[in-house]
């Protein structure tokens, strides 16, 4: 459901509410500076303001299309801007569009998503004597308010990056790499928006908009400084995500290599044991058959057969012990030295 709020700039920059849109337009025609804020408007709401304020049809189409990148367009009767509001909640970044028309003595803002309520700025922050100088100063107050609120979302992402780092270093086995991918997508969305918004401020400070005077440009430079700082923080966050992904993959690779080494060690030991038991099995099979007595001269020579059997078993056992020790020393020389 659409909602409209109307303000007029009074003495000392105060912003008292006006009851109706007709009253607001009458004050504007009388030379007052007015601010009209539309929340979730329909086309009819924008068409009602198109003729009196001289809104361009292309700008109205951009307001109704929510899939727009931040930009600035200068028309004959006004300048049209698109910038974004950020909201980071429950691990997900929400990017919502805020549209603004600034012309001679008027500011029109259009927004839809949660967290874009620019019409309910803190009155103490909105009341400033500079608002009496023109609608461009009013636009600066709104834009500065929206840009300052971006910091909450950026800090939320930074805090979660720190938590992800602790989880990676704490327990690599239970860490979910999807968290890194989600944070990476959020940072990419932040970077895309901040990059275009920074270009908007560059054009404003360069004087490309005829409806933003030179006196207001100094104030917009402060907003540009904030956006530039947020952009740098976003770039640092992207580098941290890339580094955390490399750390995660490296630790995971080391963990898998350790498991593979342990498996190889077990298989090597089983192979040795199997190799050792093959001659033992052969010896037991021979000694358990009549051929053994035939080889030792018959049953009368049992005094020779049993000692030979025991000697063979002892030789094979000793050879097994020496072979296993030699294989272990070759496989883990560091463990041999530490054990010694």
Domain range annotation of the chain:
3-251, 263-339
pLDDT (0 to 100) of residue 124 = 44
| φ, ψ (nearest 5 deg) of residue 39 | -115, 125
Q: Which residues contact 216 (CB under 8 A, 6 or more apart)?
A: 133, 134, 136, 137, 139, 140
Residue at token pair 């030792």: 296
pLDDT (0 to 100) of residue 115 = 62
Residue 3, both tokens: 């909602």
Exposed e or buried b for every residue in 9-34, given b needs 16+ CB within 10 A? Answer: beeebbbeebeebeebbebbeeeebb
pLDDT (0 to 100) of residue 337 = 43
Alpha carbon distance 310, 171 (integer Å)? 53
Q: Distances from the Cα of 14 to the Cαs of 30, 130, 187, in angstroms?
A: 18, 10, 37
Q: Which of 99, 106, 100 is nearest to 134 (CA)?
A: 106
CATH code of 3-251, in short, is: 3.30.460.20
Q: Which of 162, 139, 10 is nearest to 79 (CA)?
A: 139
- Are 107 and 37 in contact by the 8 Å Cβ rule? The answer is no
Mean pLDDT by 10 residues, the chain (340 residues): 86 80 92 91 91 94 89 94 90 91 94 68 57 88 90 92 90 86 93 94 92 91 94 94 91 87 82 73 67 58 71 78 74 50
What does the pLDDT look like over 137-188, one tens digit per residue? Answer: 989 988 998 998 899 999 999 999 999 999 888 888 788 889 899 999 999 9
Q: Report the Cα–Cα distance between both ends of the chain, in Å, rounded.
A: 81
pLDDT (0 to 100) of residue 26 = 93
pLDDT (0 to 100) of residue 295 = 57
pLDDT (0 to 100) of residue 336 = 45
Alpha carbon distance 272, 259 (integer Å)? 20
Residue 199, both tokens: 């270009």
Query: Three-state SS across the chain?
Result: CCEEEEEECCHHHCCCEECCHHHHHHHHHCCCCEEEEEECCCHHHHHHHHHHHCCCHHHHHHHHCCCCCCEEEECCCEEEEEEEEEEEECCEEEEEEEEEEEECCEEEEEECCCCCCHHHCCHHHHCCHHHHHCHHHHHHHHHHHHHHHHHHHHHHHHHHHHHHHHHHHHCCCCCCCHHHHHHHHHHHHHHHHHHHHHHHHHHHHCCCCCCCCHHHHHHHHHHHHHHHHHHHHHHHHHHHHHHHHHHHHHHHHHHHHHHHHHHHHHHHHHHHHHHHHHHHHHHHHHHCCHHHHHHCCCHHHHHHHHHHHHHHHHHHHHHHHHHHHHHHHHHCHHHHHHHC
Question: From the centroid of its chain, how far is CA 325?
Answer: 52
């Amino acid at each position: 459901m659409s909602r409209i709020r109307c303000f007029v700039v009074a003495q000392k920059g105060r912003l008292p509410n006006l009851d109706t849109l007709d009253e607001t337009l009458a004050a504007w025609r009388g030379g007052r500076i007015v601010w009209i804020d539309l929340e979730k408007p329909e086309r009819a709401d924008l068409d009602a303001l198109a003729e009196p304020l001289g809104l361009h049809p292309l700008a109205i189409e951009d307001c109704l299309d929510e899939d727009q990148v931040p930009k600035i367009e200068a028309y004959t009767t006004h300048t049209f801007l698109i910038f974004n509001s950020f909201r980071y909640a429950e691990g997900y970044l929400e990017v919502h569009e805020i549209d603004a028309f600034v012309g001679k003595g008027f500011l029109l803002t259009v927004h839809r998503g949660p967290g874009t309520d620019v019409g309910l700025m803190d009155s103490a922050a909105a009341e400033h004597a500079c608002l009496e100088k023109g609608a461009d100063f009013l636009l600066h107050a709104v834009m500065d308010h929206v840009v300052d609120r971006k910091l909450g979302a950026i800090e939320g992402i930074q805090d979660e990056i720190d938590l992800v780092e602790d989880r990676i270093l704490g327990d690599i086995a239970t860490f979910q790499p999807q968290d890194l991918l989600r944070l990476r997508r959020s940072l990419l969305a932040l970077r895309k928006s901040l990059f275009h918004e920074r270009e908007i401020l560059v054009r404003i400070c360069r004087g490309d908009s005829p409806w933003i005077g030179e006196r207001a440009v100094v104030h917009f430079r402060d907003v540009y400084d904030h956006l530039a700082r947020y952009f740098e923080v976003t770039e640092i966050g992207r580098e941290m995500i890339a580094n955390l992904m490399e750390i995660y993959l490296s630790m995971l690779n080391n963990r898998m290599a350790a498991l593979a080494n342990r498996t190889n060690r077990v298989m090597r030991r089983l192979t040795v044991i199997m190799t050792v038991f093959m001659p033992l099995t052969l010896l037991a099979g021979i000694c358990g058959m009549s051929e053994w007595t035939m080889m030792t001269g018959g049953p009368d020579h049992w005094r020779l057969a049993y000692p030979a059997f025991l000697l063979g078993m002892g030789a094979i056992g000793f050879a097994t012990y020496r072979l296993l020790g030699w294989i272990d020393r070759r496989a883990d020389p560091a463990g041999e030295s530490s054990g010694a």
